[in-house]
Structure 1
Amino acid sequence: MQRERPEASRRRGEGSGNEAAAFLVRSAFITEEAVYGVILVSGMIVVASAGEASVWPVFWKVLGTVIVFWAAHVYAGTVARHGLDDDEDLGLREAFSASLRRSLGLLLSAFIPLFILLLGATRAIDDALALWTALWAGVVVLAVLGFIAFRRRGAAWPMQVVGALATAAFGVVMIGLKAFIH
């Protein structure tokens, strides 16, 4: 029987409640999947809003695309992890669980922009305002993710700001595409 290393249980978030919560934040929210998810959502808003008179079709296209990409990411992660991951023999259930946890950031990163699009679709705010606000919210989320990532690595505060700006630049590029296309 293989004995598990203590750092393996910490990676999975076992231990005290605070350790588990911190692990969940690290593994779900502050990940490349979350950054990718925000960029994906922003790109979908740009593409889906072309020629649409209402935000409703944009909302549904973005939501559908995010769910499909998330499901594909969970599946791909499960297949990649099944068998051997970090020198641990993972069964299918453990591989699926790890992939599901890791891919959560991609799914959750769509929440804020989709909520803003929903406000436009339900006429709580103007359609154009909803589209632009959702894109700018993506920029802010990217900046926060970049800042936290650099902070976790122990970078000095000027590098944390540079990291935030560099990460946010991907969202600004999407806004530039929307302005160019429309």
Structure 2
Amino acid sequence: MSLREWWGRLGMRLMPLKNPAQAVYGTVITGAVMAAYSEPPVEIDEVVPGVLATVVVYWLAHVYAEELVHFEEGVAFSRRRLWSTMRAQWAIVRAALAPVLVLLVALLFGATPTVALEIAVWFTVLLLVGFGTVSALRGGLRGGPLILAALLAGSLGLILVALKGSVD
């Protein structure tokens, strides 16, 4: 396997592009939690578990909310449907992996915890722009509407950056 193929496979594992709507949820949650941890001193041993725990709880809550619809329709609990819903919503958790990886790589390359967290938060902005772009392209948008969709998605990330700035 070539290096390019390896990177492509890694990217597909980390970037849940098959379900960008769920990926947006996971990315926004990840960025928000990272922003909440941004007040110095930044403790990476608190940030990473905090991000992952929050995203997993949100994922479970989202799965449960999806299942409530079936309960309200009078459909009995189904283990098969539950597993299907869990897999379908897993993009929420997968979306947290790339920003956490960026955070850890930045640390590995010598960034301070505060700078590494800053890089990871800005990375979430880029991810949101990417997810907005992918969704818009799949929806057939081109030109101005495509740019607007990408900017709207990125604006969610900019709100996180603003929240992070208000904490500093």
Report TM bin, short chain.
0.7 to 0.9
Q: Matches of 2:42 and 2:121 in 1, distance apart?
A: 17
Aligned to 2:146: 160
Gaps of 5+ in 2: 1-15
Instruction: Find the residue that maps to 2:157 and give its secondary structure.
Output: helix
Mapping for residues 22-171 of structure 1, pairs under 5 Å: 25-26=17-18, 29-31=19-21, 33-81=22-70, 92-119=78-105, 124-171=110-157
Q: Which runs of 5+ in 1 are unaligned?
A: 1-23
Q: 1:123 to 1:150 in 2, by over 3 A?
A: closer
The answer to whether the 8 Å contact 2:99/2:124 transfers is: yes
Larger radius of gyration: 1
Tell me the C-alpha RMSD between the 2 structures: 2.4
Q: How much has 1:51 moved relative to structure 2?
A: 4.1
- d(CA) in 2 for partners of 1:75, 1:158: 38
Please give the alpha-carbon distance, in whole angstroms, between the structure 2 residues aligned to 1:172 and 1:156.
Answer: 23
Cα deviation 1:110-136 (Å, max 9, x = unaligned): 011111233356675321221111111
The TM-score, its normalising length taken from structure 2, stands at: 0.78
Identical counterparts, % of pairs: 24
| 8 Å Cα contact 2:62-2:89 kept in structure 1 | yes
1:156 CA displacement: 2.0
Contact 2:28–2:157 under 8 Å retained in 1:
yes
Q: In the alignment, is the contact (CA less than 8 A) between 1:49 and 1:55 conserved in 2?
A: no
Change (3 A) 1:96 1:82: farther
Name the structure with the higher helix share: 2
Higher relative contact order (CA 8 A, sep 6+): 2
CA distance in structure 1 between the aligned counterparts of 2:40 and 2:93, rounded to whole angstroms: 26
Q: Report how far residue 56 of structure 1 moved.
A: 1.9
Q: How many residues align?
A: 152
SS in 1 for 2:111: coil
